[in-house]
Amino acid sequence: MLTMAQAIRLALHYGEEHLGVTDIFGEDVGPPLGGVFTATQGLRTAWNSPLDERGIIAHALGLALAGQKPVCEIQFCDYIFNTIDLLKLAGNTHWTSAGQYNANMVCMTVVGAGIHGSVYHSHSFESIMAHIPGWKIVLPSRPIDAYGLMISALKDPNPVMFLYPKALIRTRGTEPLPGLEGLSESDLKKRIDAPAGRTLNEVAKLRETWQPQWPSGLTDYQVPIGQARRVRSGDDLTIISYARHVPLAELACRELAAEGISVDLIDLRSLYPWDRELVFESVSRTGRALVINEDTPVCNFGEHILREITEHCFYQLQAPPRLLAGADVPGIGLNPRLENASVPQQSDILNAARTVAQTVA
């Protein structure tokens, strides 16, 4: 099965060939590297930008205003925070122009901890991003969703923020990509992973002549923006999560099941808009809700979900709904003891789930 990096690459390739993508750019996005996480290797329209996030977002907006379809990358979401004003501009372009222009662009960036990234390669961005009107926001936890959400993002005429969890980029999915069911892992790798080398010069040399062998059969398989996925069904507790904490929560659910707690686990996948119907239906049924993410807790996106849940499912709630989020600290420390204490771990999920599931008034 393919990795998330491969899935994104394939979707972008499909976008270049079939959906009018004109530019895929950002720091080290073009050859020879093809992105620090390899997501843009071998793409026809990929190019390297100057080291300048403000320039990247502004340039993408300008391209969109000129009717192009750009995909820009911010190398780490940790470095997107100098562009919030520009993201706001992109988000208000359609509205402020009373419908004349749309900022038809996709911005992609990796989020979250889990790779010993220390203070500046562990940030989350979804909470601040969700506060910026005019954008749609997606955040897959599986390769197949990454593909389907990217296709949807490219088809959407609005600015879409494509976040993806850096800790899961190399994890292989368990679902085959529609159209590529016959292709083996190693075949795919041989076809679309750029050749490695021991030195940058060697890498550059090897890749100068390298051409990816894009598999045929790619489809416009979409995950509609706004549609969550029920990962597991259960009756005692609803866990709402996304990104890196979906697989973690899934593991926890197995353990909880053994303890007799049956969890309805929802992977949101889209954060704006998000799947209110599925969440409300579930919480109304279980009466108990736990939201899990790793962003810092004040004005956390989970608080938005919880506010909506409390408003809509108040009379069904049997225990205080809870947020399990990152610690309220200015950074993720590099030492693993610090990182583990700062973002929810398996044991934190189990404890929080037990608390919410077992509270009796």
Partner 1 sequence: MLDSDTKLRILRSMITARALEERLIMMSKSADGFFWIGGPGEEAFNTCLGVLARPGATLDHDFFHFHYRNSATMVAMGMDPLDAIRQMAVRVTDPFTGGRNFCGHYCRRQWNVVPVTSTIQTQSAVATGTARAQKRHGGTGITITTSGDAGTAEGDFTIGLNWSTQPGWELPILYIVTNNKYGISTRYSEVHGHSRVADIAAGFGIESHVVDGNDVSASYEVIASAMQVVRNERRPVLIEAFVSRLHGHSSSSGGNRVPEGAEVDPLSRYAEQLLGEGLIESAQFDSWLDQERQRMGDFLQQAKNEPHPAPESIYDHIFATTEPSKC
Ligand X SMILES: Cc1ncc(C[n+]2csc(CCOP(=O)(O)OP(=O)(O)O)c2C)c(N)n1
What does the binding site for a copy of itself look like in residue numbers (CB under 8 A)?
54, 79, 81-86, 88, 91-92, 94-96, 119, 127-128, 130-131, 133-134, 272, 296-304, 306-307, 310-311, 314-315, 317, 319-323, 328-331, 361
Identify the H or E element spanning 16: helix 4-18
Q: What is the DSSP letter of 339?
A: H
- Residues forming beta bridges with residue 138, ordered by sequence position: 162, 270
| Shortest Cβ 229–partner 1 spacing (Å) | 23
> To which residue do tokens 């051409």 refer?
211
Give dist(CA 324, CA 265) in Å, integer: 14
CA angle 99, 103, 107 (to 5 degrees): 155
- Please say which residue, 8 or 87, places its beta carbon nearer to partner 1: 87
What does 63 bind: ligand X, partner 1, a copy of itself, none (CB cut-off 5 to 8 Å by kind)? partner 1
| Shortest Cβ 53–ligand X spacing (Å) | 6
Classified as helix, coil or strand, 348 is helix
C-alpha separations of 62 from 23, 47, 67, 90, 217 in Å: 12, 16, 9, 10, 33
| Shortest Cβ 21–a copy of itself spacing (Å) | 25
In angstroms and rounded to an integer, the radius of gyration of the C-alpha atoms of the chain is 20
- Please say which residue, 23 or 236, places its beta carbon nearer to partner 1: 23
Give Cβ neighbours of residue 191 (< 8 Å, ≥ 6 apart): 183, 212, 213, 214, 215
- Where do the H-state alpha helices sit in 34-83? 53-65
| Shortest Cβ 298–a copy of itself spacing (Å) | 5
| Shortest Cβ 30–a copy of itself spacing (Å) | 24
Identify the H or E element spanning 208: helix 200-209
| Shortest Cβ 331–ligand X spacing (Å) | 14
- Where do the H-state alpha helices sit in 270-318? 276-286, 301-313
Q: How far apart are the first and last CA of the chain?
A: 46
- Please say which residue, 119 or 251, places its beta carbon nearer to partner 1: 119
| Shortest Cβ 114–ligand X spacing (Å) | 18
Asked if 51 touches ligand X (CB under 6 A), the answer is yes
Asked if 88 touches ligand X (CB under 6 A), the answer is no
Concatenate the DSSP letters of all residues of 71-108 into one string: EEEES-GGG-TT-HHHHHHHHHHHHHTTTS-----EEE
Q: Site residues for ligand X, window 68-87 (CB under 6 A)?
A: 75, 79
| Shortest Cβ 23–partner 1 spacing (Å) | 8
What does 45 bind: partner 1, ligand X, a copy of itself, none (CB cut-off 5 to 8 Å by kind)? none
- Please say which residue, 252 or 319, places its beta carbon nearer to a copy of itself: 319
- Residues forming beta bridges with residue 241, ordered by sequence position: 267, 292
- Please say which residue, 203 or 356, places its beta carbon nearer to partner 1: 203
What does 130 bind: partner 1, a copy of itself, ligand X, none (CB cut-off 5 to 8 Å by kind)? a copy of itself
What does 41 bind: ligand X, partner 1, a copy of itself, none (CB cut-off 5 to 8 Å by kind)? none
What does 168 bind: ligand X, a copy of itself, partner 1, none (CB cut-off 5 to 8 Å by kind)? none
Among 23, 27, 73, 275, binds ligand X (CB under 6 A): 27
CA 76 to chain centre: 12
State the residues that interact with ligand X by CB under 6 A: 27, 51, 53, 75, 79
